[in-house]
A = this chain, B = another copy of it.
Amino acid sequence: MDEISTLDRPASSGPGPIRRTALHDTLVNHLRDMIIEGHLEPGTRLHEGQLGEQLGVSRTPLREAIKYLASEGLVELVPSRGAVVKRFSGKDVQDMLAVLRNLEELAGKLACQLASDAEIAHVRALHDEMVRRYKAADRLQYYKLNQDIHTAIVRLAQNATLADMHQMLQTRLKRIRFIGHEGAEKWAAAVAEHEEMISALEARDAARLSDVLGRHLANAWERVRSAI
């Protein structure tokens, strides 16, 4: 097989300055996706030569991308033995969710103070769209919008560090979250929690929003624990 470059280089469309994308940066995103989507399972060793040939790139940008992902916590560097995809234990996931919960509670409080009406309306729109996907049983889009809503609420807090940390945890958990929501009734419960989130946000009820965000993530653990 020819080493065809299957990398999703960002489309050069759209206005603005034509941002030339560095290969190592493209690789970071590509590898991250491969890990999240399960094409690279936990414990898998990332062979530089093989993986590079497979992706049609040389080892240098690949190594740089791996270092970046190592700092993100998605892969682990073993001296003189390369990198392996990090494996998360049940406790690891539980720990991440505990921190994520705390961050979202903070974000909820700040969002109630700082968000504009228009921004809140935007989140409501995302929510409505998500409910449509839920009713259509479109799991993939539902998940995507679910994440978008959480990310959007965190953005309303107008705290870059908070957004960064949240993003990092979301990324690490994305692989896990794919699995959750097995039962239909649990799925319905999650949607109901989302509905309450939005209404609390619209009422700018910081305590209630923080509370429901916390409960939502506490329940998330219940939803995924069986899958771990």
User: Which positions in A face B, CB cutoff 8 Å?
Assistant: 19-22, 24-25, 60, 63-65, 67-73, 77, 79-80, 92, 95-96, 98-99, 102-103, 105-106, 110, 159-162, 164-165, 169
Contacts and interface: CB of A to CB of B under 8 A. Distances in A.
B99 A162 contact: yes
Contact of A162 (B77, B98, B105): B98
B67 A19 contact: no
Given A64-B63, A68-B71, A99 B20 contact: no
B80 A20 contact: yes
Q: Give the number of times this chain occurs in the complex, counting copies.
A: 2
Given A20-B79, A92-B160, 14 more contacts: A20-B80, A22-B77, A22-B79, A25-B77, A68-B68, A68-B71, A69-B71, A92-B161, A98-B159, A99-B103, A99-B162, A99-B165, A102-B105, A102-B106
B162 A165 contact: no
7 contacts: A25-B77, A60-B60, A69-B71, A92-B161, A95-B162, A98-B110, A102-B105
Contacts of A64: 63-64, 67
